[in-house]
Amino acid sequence: MDKNLKRMATMQRLQVTGLELFYRNGYYNTSIDDILKELSLSKGAFYHHFDSKEDFFVQIIQNLVVRKMYTMLIEPIEGHENSLELITNCFENALETAVHNELDFGFILGNFISEFNGKNPMIMKHLSDILKIWEVNLVSVIQKGKFNGYIDRHVDSEGVAVFLISSYMGIRTFMVENTPSARKYRFMIQLRQYFKSIAAKKEIV
């Protein structure tokens, strides 16, 4: 195998396994040795690619966490269709992956924000930036929905975005417990009811 390809493959394996272990056990409860043991790699292999555990984690955020967030919660709501339907379908599909995930430890971004808050400002900034991008994207979609006549024009776009992010992060925490499918079902019913309340009302002619 070409040296560059081999190097990229090793980095990918390290990051994927690192994310799995950090997600399962937490950053501070997972050592580099734990990750290397899982992959049967030497410390030399790790430090050939990364300067430190912190550098390793930042690259995981940039390469994997951002991609997961974009694929699951940002890209699906981009478009010109009914904004409320796009967000509903996005949440429905994203939560369904959690229903079928046996190794579910909560919402990755939420878990890490809770763990690093007040402990590591540099890593917190990277995590907060993802949250801000998600929020800005939601605000933009809601504004578009107002402009296109799907959402009541008096709705506070920023307030709705904050509510949606908070409720999604909350239900992901609840779904770690038993009956995730039932919890998801009840959440989606309430979300649809909420969306009805902010949808543009059709004028009676």
Residue 203: pLDDT band by 50, 70, 90 thresholds?
A: low
Cβ–Cβ under 8 Å, residues 61 and 130: yes
CATH number of domain containing 39: 1.10.10.60
**Number of domains composing the chain:** 2
Q: Nearest-CA neighbor of 151 among 83, 74, 76?
A: 83
Cβ–Cβ under 8 Å, residues 133 and 204: no
What is the distance between the alpha carbons of residues 145 and 147, in angstroms, rounded to a whole number? 5
43 and 122 assigned to the same domain: no
Structural domain includes residue 203: no
CATH number of domain containing 81: 1.10.357.10
Average pLDDT of 134-150? 97
Between the two ends of the chain, the Cα-to-Cα distance in Å is: 70
What is the distance between the alpha carbons of residues 159 and 102, in angstroms, rounded to a whole number? 33
46 and 77 assigned to the same domain: no
146 and 63 assigned to the same domain: yes
Residue 103: pLDDT band by 50, 70, 90 thresholds?
A: low
Asked if pLDDT for residue 1 goes beyond 60, the answer is: no
Asked if pLDDT for residue 108 goes beyond 50, the answer is: yes
73 and 98 assigned to the same domain: yes
What is the distance between the alpha carbons of residues 58 and 152, in angstroms, rounded to a whole number? 40
Q: What is the pLDDT of residue 45?
A: 86
Q: What is the pLDDT of residues 172-202, one digit of tens each?
A: 999 997 799 999 999 999 999 999 999 998 7
Q: What is the chain's length? A: 205
Asked if pLDDT for residue 136 goes beyond 60, the answer is: yes
- pTM here is 0.89
Asked if pLDDT for residue 171 goes beyond 60, the answer is: yes
What is the distance between the alpha carbons of residues 137 and 131, in angstroms, rounded to a whole number? 10
- Residue 194, judged by CB atoms within 10 A of its CB (0-12, 13-18, 19+), counts as middle
SS3 179: coil
Q: What is the pLDDT of residues 56-92, one digit of tens each?
A: 999 999 999 999 999 999 999 998 889 999 999 999 9
